[in-house]
């Protein structure tokens, strides 16, 4: 199986010993505490789950600026997106102290982790603006990722953390949330050595289904990891529980047995396009995957990115030796009326637009909201039924 990024063994920051966790929770009761932003809490969950191997905690200002400019930390570790604990006010937090990090997403704000504070760094407003431009390729405040990033504050509390739980993800998604190590363990149990990862924050329609099957065949992989984001999304995106149910129904009905694993990870969507695609590759390598499918407008939003920017970044900004995981590059996929199957559009140059079943996301949502199933060439009827129920209950 493929090695983790940056180390020979996975360094998950979750404290697995129940005795140690109990002792740390007792310690936390007497520590000064801060309530994290949702973004910093998601970073803690990803660190705890081993997805952000080999990081030991939150980054310094120097690390973040280096990652923004060069996609590497100050000491040279390849990394695409700063992993920060940003605050609006860090007064009273002293280097060398220990602080309890409280979860903003769980009622009562329980302690999520304990951080040993190596230091507190202040970004200038210009540095925050520059980082936003580098991460999101725009400074537009209407971009959901930019708005979230700039709202967190300018003080970076850096240092290692010890993670005590996985926030709401384990309780809300007990059958889906998985750590990087548990995914690796199941690959081993299944006898899978080569795995293709499919990233999604949306339900999967026929094109997504067939793309996974194409990648499985083309790479000669043993299976597909359908790995869905379970954290915060922008308004209008379909909630994780609905998406989970739709994907499970599709896999149960249309994938061969033991060809697919359905799992999820606890992170908030960045909508950072190319940079987020590289982050997706890093943590799929940590989960043991050999390939990541990167398709059209991967991790994008609106018109901020070109349709294949998330592929070209691997050619233009990712050094050849930076990652072991490989990218499976997908074109736009659609159902061909001529061939009566889903194809990558680049593979059928003789087709015109009228030869495909093409529906915009807006049109599909409109149909589902009106109780009209999209054509079966676009969406499996079992999936459409789950989504119609969601949109009609929402109306």
Whether the pLDDT of residue 243 is over 80: the answer is yes
Rounded CA separation 195/193 (Å): 7
Whether the pLDDT of residue 161 is over 70: the answer is yes
Q: What percent of the chain has pLDDT over 90?
A: 79
pLDDT band at 345 (very low <50, low <70, confident <90, very high): confident
Answer whether residue 104 is part of any domain. Answer: yes
Whether residues 211 and 306 share a domain: the answer is yes
Question: Where a domain ends, among 170, 196, 229?
Answer: 170
Q: How far does Cα 154 stand from its chain's mean position?
A: 24
**CATH, residue 59:** 3.10.400.10
pLDDT at position 395: 64
Whether residues 332 and 192 share a domain: the answer is yes
Whether residues 155 and 233 share a domain: the answer is no
pLDDT at position 27: 97
pLDDT band at 279 (very low <50, low <70, confident <90, very high): very high
What digits encode the pLDDT tens for the residues 113-131? 999 999 999 999 999 999 9
Domain count, the chain: 2
**Per DSSP, what are the bridge partners of residue 72?**
78
CB of 377 within 8 A of CB of 334?
A: no
Answer whether residue 236 is part of any domain. Answer: yes
- Please state, as a whole number, how many other Cβ atoms lie within 10 Å of the Cβ of residue 352: 8
Q: Is 286 a catalytic residue?
A: no
**Strand 57-58 relative to strand 155-163, pairing:** antiparallel
CB of 238 within 8 A of CB of 390?
A: yes
CB of 194 within 8 A of CB of 222?
A: yes
Answer whether residue 78 is part of any domain. Answer: yes
Answer whether residue 312 is part of any domain. Answer: yes
Q: What percent of the chain has pLDDT over 70?
A: 99
More confident residue, 204 or 112: 112
> What is the value of pTM for the model shown?
0.94
Answer whether residue 13 is part of any domain. Answer: no
Whether residues 323 and 179 share a domain: the answer is yes
Q: Which residue stretches of 137-199 are H helix?
A: 144-150, 169-172, 180-190
Q: Is 201 a catalytic residue?
A: yes
pLDDT band at 38 (very low <50, low <70, confident <90, very high): very high
Answer whether residue 252 is part of any domain. Answer: yes
Question: Where a domain ends, among 128, 143, 170?
Answer: 170
Answer whether residue 7 is part of any domain. Answer: no
Whether residues 199 and 306 share a domain: the answer is yes
pLDDT at position 89: 94
Whether residues 166 and 178 share a domain: the answer is no
Whether residues 379 and 249 share a domain: the answer is yes
pLDDT at position 84: 98
Whether the pLDDT of residue 362 is over 80: the answer is no
Whether residues 216 and 358 share a domain: the answer is yes
Whether residues 38 and 124 share a domain: the answer is yes
Contacts by 28-32, CB closer than 8 A, 24 or more apart = 28/100, 28/111, 28/114, 28/164, 31/98, 31/99, 31/100, 31/114, 32/92, 32/93, 32/97, 32/99, 32/100
- Residue range 341-368: mean pLDDT, rounded: 84
- 21, 190, 201, 248: the catalytic one is 201
Whether residues 338 and 200 share a domain: the answer is yes
**CATH, residue 347:** 3.40.50.620
More confident residue, 165 or 1: 165
- Residue range 68-77: mean pLDDT, rounded: 97
- 202, 248, 365, 389: the catalytic one is 202
Mean pLDDT score across all residues of the chain: 94
pLDDT at position 358: 79
Whether residues 219 and 322 share a domain: the answer is yes
Whether residues 330 and 205 share a domain: the answer is yes
3-state secondary structure of 17: coil
- Please state, as a whole number, how many other Cβ atoms lie within 10 Å of the Cβ of residue 334: 23
- Residue ranges making up the domain that contains 157: 18-170
| DSSP for 55-87, written as a single string | --EEPPHHHHHHHHHHSB-TT--B-SS----EE
Whether the pLDDT of residue 276 is over 80: the answer is yes
């Amino acid at each position: 199986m493929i090695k983790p990024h940056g180390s020979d063994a996975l360094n998950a920051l979750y404290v697995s010993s129940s005795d140690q966790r109990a002792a740390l929770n007792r310690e936390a009761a007497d520590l000064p505490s801060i309530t994290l932003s949702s973004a910093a809490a998601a970073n803690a969950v990803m660190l705890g789950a081993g997805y952000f191997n080999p990081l030991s905690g939150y980054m310094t200002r120097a690390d973040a600026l280096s990652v923004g400019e060069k996609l590497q930390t100050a000491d040279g570790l390849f990394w695409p997106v700063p992993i920060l604990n940003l605050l609006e006010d860090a007064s009273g937090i002293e280097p060398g102290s220990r602080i309890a990090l409280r979860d903003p997403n769980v009622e009562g704000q329980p302690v999520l982790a304990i951080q040993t504070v190596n230091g507190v760094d202040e970004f200038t407003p210009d540095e925050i603006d520059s980082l936003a431009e580098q991460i999101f390729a725009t400074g537009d405040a209407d971009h959901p990722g930019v708005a979230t990033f700039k709202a967190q504050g300018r003080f970076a509390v850096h240092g290692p953390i010890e993670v005590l739980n996985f926030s709401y993800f384990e309780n809300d998604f007990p059958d889906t949330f998985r750590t990087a190590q548990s995914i690796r363990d199941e690959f081993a149990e299944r006898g899978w050595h080569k795995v293709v990862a499919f990233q999604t924050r949306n339900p999967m329609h026929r094109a997504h289904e067939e793309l996974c099957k194409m990648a499985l065949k083309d790479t000669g992989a043993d299976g597909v990891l359908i790995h869905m984001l379970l954290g915060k999304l922008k308004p209008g995106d379909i909630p994780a529980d609905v998406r989970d149910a739709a994907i499970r129904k599709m896999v149960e009905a249309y994938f061969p047995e033991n060809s697919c694993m359905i799992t999820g990870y606890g992170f908030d969507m960045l909508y950072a396009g190319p940079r987020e695609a590289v982050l997706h590759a890093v943590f799929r390598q940590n989960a043991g995957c050999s390939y990541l499918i990167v398709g059209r407008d991967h991790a994008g939003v609106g018109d901020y990115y070109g349709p294949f920017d998330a592929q070209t970044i691997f050619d233009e900004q990712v050094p050849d030796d930076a990652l072991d995981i490989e990218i499976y590059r997908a074109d736009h996929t659609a159902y061909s009326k001529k061939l009566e199957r889903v194809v990558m559009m680049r593979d059928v140059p003789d087709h015109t637009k009228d030869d495909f079943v093409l529906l915009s996301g807006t049109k599909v949502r409109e149909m589902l909201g009106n109780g009209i199933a999209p054509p079966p060439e676009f969406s499996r009827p079992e999936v459409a039924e789950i989504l119609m129920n969601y949109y009609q209950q929402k109306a």
